[in-house]
A and B are shown apart, each in its own frame.
Chain A
Amino acid sequence: MTLEFLGDLSTPIMMGILLGGLYALIALGLSLVFGVMKLINVAHGDLVLFSSYFAYAAMTMLGIDPILSLVIGMPLLFVMGFAIQKYLLSRAFAISMEAPLIIAFGISLTLQNFQQIIWSPMSRGLTTSYALVSFGVGGTRVPLAYLLDFIAALIVMFSLREFLSRTYLGKAINAASQDRRAAQLMGINTGRMYALAFAISMATAALAGVFLGLTFPFTPQSGVSFLIIAFGVVIIGGLGSMVGTFIGGMVLGLAQTLGGYFLGCAAQMLIAYGMVLIVLAVRPQGIFGR
Chain B
Amino acid sequence: MPKKTLLRVSNIDTFYGGFQALWNVSLEVKPQEIVALIGANGSGKSTLLDTISGLIRSAKGGIEFEGKSITTLDPFQIVALGISQVPEGRRVFPDLSVLDNLILGSYNPKARPKKEQNFKIVYELFPILEERKNQLAKTLSGGEQQMLALGRGLMSNPKLMLLDEMSLGLAPIVINNVYKALRKIRERGITILLVEQNVRRSLDEADRAYIMEAGRVVLNGNVADLREEEEVKKAYFGI
Where the two chains meet, the residues of A that have a C-beta atom closer than 8 Å to any C-beta of B are 168, 171-172, 174-175, 178-179, 181-190, 290
Contact = CB atoms under 8 A, between A and B. Distances in A.
A51 to B, nearest CB: 31
B159 interface: no
B76 A184 contact: yes
B93 A179 contact: yes
A109 B28 CA distance: 55
Contacts of B108: 186-187
B36 interface: no
Given A171-B104, A179-B91, A187 B156 contact: yes
Given A172-B104, A185-B87, 19 more contacts: A168-B112, A171-B100, A174-B95, A174-B96, A175-B104, A178-B95, A179-B93, A179-B94, A182-B87, A182-B91, A186-B105, A186-B107, A186-B156, A187-B107, A187-B108, A188-B76, A188-B104, A190-B76, A290-B95
Interface of A is mostly: helix
A169 to B, nearest CB: 9
B187 to A, nearest CB: 24
Contact of A174 (B53, B84, B92, B93): B93
B103 A184 contact: no
A69 B80 CA distance: 40
A184 B93 CA distance: 12
Contacts of A178: 93-96
Contacts of B76: 184, 187-190
A189 B94 CA distance: 20
Nearest to A166: B100
B107 A172 contact: yes
B201 to A, nearest CB: 23
B96 A171 contact: yes
Interface of B: 53, 55, 74-76, 79-80, 84-85, 87, 91-96, 100, 103-105, 107-108, 111-112, 152, 156
Contacts of A187: 75-76, 79-80, 107-108, 111, 156
Chain A to chain B: the 3 pairs with minimum beta-carbon distance, closest first: A187-B79, A187-B108, A182-B91
Contact of A171 (B91, B92, B103, B156): B103
A179 B53 CA distance: 16
B122 to A, nearest CB: 14
B102 to A, nearest CB: 10
A211 B62 CA distance: 55
Contact of A175 (B55, B79, B96, B111): B96
A73 to B, nearest CB: 31
18 contacts: A175-B93, A175-B96, A178-B94, A178-B96, A181-B55, A182-B87, A182-B92, A182-B93, A184-B53, A184-B76, A185-B84, A185-B87, A185-B91, A186-B104, A186-B107, A186-B108, A187-B80, A290-B95
B126 to A, nearest CB: 18
Contacts of B93: 174-175, 178-179, 182-183
Contact of B91 (A168, A181, A190): A181
Contacts of B152: 186
A185 B53 contact: yes
Given A171-B103, A172-B104, A175-B104, A185 B85 contact: yes
A182 B74 CA distance: 14
Nearest to A240: B95
